[in-house]
Every structure is written in C-alpha cells, then in structure tokens.
Amino acid sequence: MGLSSQNSFQFDLLINADDNKFKRITSKAKIDQNTKQILAPFNQNNVHWYTFQIDFEQSVITIYDSMKRSNYPQLFHNLVEIAQRIKNQEYELKVANCPQQSNTHDCGVFTLKNIWILSKYPKAKLQGYYDQSTIFYDRILICNSLLKKKI
C-alpha cells in the first residue's frame, strides 16, 4: 500500500493504544510494513490544525503548520512512537516551510489544502502552490467537493 490518509481521531487513539488495539486500528486503516507514507490532520487542544506526514521510505516525519510555532516536542514524540510501532527505524524530524495564514481561523483550510497537495505530490514544496490570498476560493472548492461527494 502506498499512501494512508488518516483522521485526527485515529491518531489520538493510536497514541495510547495497547498492542492489540494498535494492531486492530492499523489493520482496519490498512497500515502495515508496506505503507509508504501516512498523511493526516492533527488538532491541538481543539484550537489549531496541523498536517503531519510520516514517510517510511525516507524515514522522515514532517509537520506542516500554517501558524509556525517553535515548539513541537510532544507532537514529534507521539509521531515517532507511532511510526516506530509500524516500522522500527530512526526518523528525521522536520518542520516544513509551508504557506502561512494571516489570521486565526483558516488553519483547517490550510490543513486540508496541504493534505490535498501532498496526497497528489508527496514531495511537493507547498510554498508555490497557494497562499492566504487563495484560501477564500479554496474554502468554496472544498465545500463544493464535499457537497458533490468528490472528496
């Protein structure tokens, strides 16, 4: 299997899962030793959304944050723990340069846009794909896609 897209709820379940529950969740999500990458949103304290990517082939865990902060130790710790339970290896940790929001309410749209681009182009440098000026239109495209059940 190549790409596995997961939701924030599954991520939260995996963090504290015992071995049996971890195997059950990853099996149901079709995550195994052959998974090349996991791409998912993550919600921090019901306040802010991030995108994370675990690339098992390159052994890299990357956070994409539209309100770049300097402190991600707990998130990286949890991601490394999950990644190593799937494929036991060392991982390089990165915070990627990505478009930055200029307000406090567009993080969800930025996160969905990141996931959409990275699911099509896993090695994309997001800076050139969009910025704050396109988010209004991206919000409309996402809404239309959901209503038409295209995503």
Q: DSSP 3-state assignment of 17?
A: coil
pLDDT value at residue 7:
53
Residue-by-residue DSSP string for 35-103: --EEEEEEEETTTEEEEEEEETTTTEEEEE-TT--S--HHHHHHHHHHHHHHS-S--EEEE------SS
Query: Residue 11, Cα to own-chain centre: how many angstroms?
Result: 10
Of 127, 135, 111, residue with least CA distance to 42: 111
pTM comes to 0.87
Q: What is the tens place of the pLDDT at every residue in 14-32?
A: 888 999 999 998 998 889 8
HSE-CB at 105 with a 13 A cutoff on CA atoms is 2
pLDDT digits (tens, 9 = 90+) for 61-108: 999 999 987 678 888 999 999 999 999 999 999 999 999 999 999 999
Q: What is the CATH number of domain 3-147?
A: 3.40.395.10
CA distance 32 to 87: 8
| Domain boundaries of the chain, sorted by first residue | 3-147
| Mean pLDDT estimate for the chain | 88
Q: Pick from 55, 52, 65, 63: which is nearest to 123 by CA?
A: 55
Contact by Cβ (8 Å): 11, 82 = yes
